[in-house]
Amino acid sequence: MGMRENEAIQARVKGRLALGMFALLVLTLLGGASLPAYRALKAWRANQLMNQADGFLKKGSLIEAYQAAKSAHGLHAQNLRSLRMLADMYEGSGSAETLVYRRSVAESSESTTEDQVAYLRAALQTGRLDLADDFLKRIGIAGRANPKIAAIAASLLRLRGETEKAKALEGETAEKAQGGEKIEAELMRARGQIDSPDPAERTSGRATLLLIAAQNDPHHLEARRLLIASPDRSEKETQELIRLMELDSKASTADRLATQSLLLEIHPDWRGATLEEAKKTWSHGTAEDQLALAEFLSRHNDPEGVLALPSVRQGRGFLLRLDALAKLKKWATIRDELNQASDAKEPLDPFLADVFQARVAQELREIPMAEAQWKKAKSKASGDPRKLDFLANFAERSGNIPLA
């Protein structure tokens, strides 16, 4: 083979290598150019899935809504709509996913104050005070100046026994707040005051709450709720609260029945007539009316009245029905109700179902079954202080002192 032929071969090889390198460069450039478009397509598809999830949720199809939200999250991990929905669905389950999703939303540059508050609450509820501390430091003084955030920070201080620091934070926030945040900040300070061991502070807090309750402001309902729950409310304060609630033309059935509860505090001898009038007025109303009435009758220890309402086997109404049956010691009926409700559209929280099944087995002296059910309930309550407290109270009522 001659020199010229070798040179020709080498030239062809170099040419092919150059062509290959050019093609590779073009493909790389095209790939880089298409990557943003591909990401945009995934984000669009995730939003489409969330539209479907919202539709499923409105229809009450929770499983389909969860699957759509999960798929949207898989396509676009930072899709806030999917993260919020998934966090809401896991809320109260004691699952670590709640905190994971809440944190992802809160740390996003597009998060709202409500997102940040939800994350901080989830951190406190799961005992992760370190995460709450870290986030509060990250958002800085400006972030902590918001009354909602300041309220969480004050709660964190109280959990650590730093009550004076909590009071100082609430006071400083209330003094500095302006505009639309002023009333919210005053409400936060009053909330801390009514829990104080100092009677003078509690009185001051209730006075502030009465002022807020009388205003045409979105926070007046929360002020009323706090006043209703205040254990050392004076009769004069109670009468003023009743007056304010009776003047509210937009009061719900629950609000009107709460007013009746306040009247019974002053006139306990009116109980029989008041309960009968409430049944006559609301027992044939909407599902919302009947639920409010069931709450009212349960609060005033009328289990027969609760059971006389149309039967429901889902949600809060079912829980009130089971509680009424427990008060009347109808254990076998509770078991039947739970079995019938297992295929309901909105079944009872599995934790609550296990607690009632455990109580039934305990009362019927089915000890091995009771122990197994208590164990299941305790496992599902792990990491959730509210569920653990509910479990302890229920176990104590059934005589299971060791578990309580």
Identify the pLDDT of residue 34: 62
> Taking 60 as the threshold, does the pLDDT of residue 22 lie above it?
no
> Taking 80 as the threshold, does the pLDDT of residue 383 lie above it?
no
pTM: 0.71
> Taking 60 as the threshold, does the pLDDT of residue 26 lie above it?
no
Identify the pLDDT of residue 75: 87
> Taking 80 as the threshold, does the pLDDT of residue 12 lie above it?
no
pLDDT, average across residues 9-25:
55
CA atoms within 13 Å, Cβ hemisphere of 373: 24
Q: Are 208 and 189 in contact (CB under 8 A)?
A: yes
- What are the residue ranges spanned by the domains of the chain? 254-310, 311-404
Q: Among residues 96, 139, 95, which one has the least CA distance to residue 117?
A: 139
Residue 21 pLDDT grade (very low, low, confident, very high; cuts 50, 70, 90): low
> Taking 80 as the threshold, does the pLDDT of residue 325 lie above it?
yes
Q: What is the pLDDT of residues 388-400, one digit of tens each?
A: 888 888 778 777 7
For residues 323 and 93, the model is more confident at 323
Q: Among residues 34, 37, 95, 25, which one has the least CA distance to residue 66?
A: 95
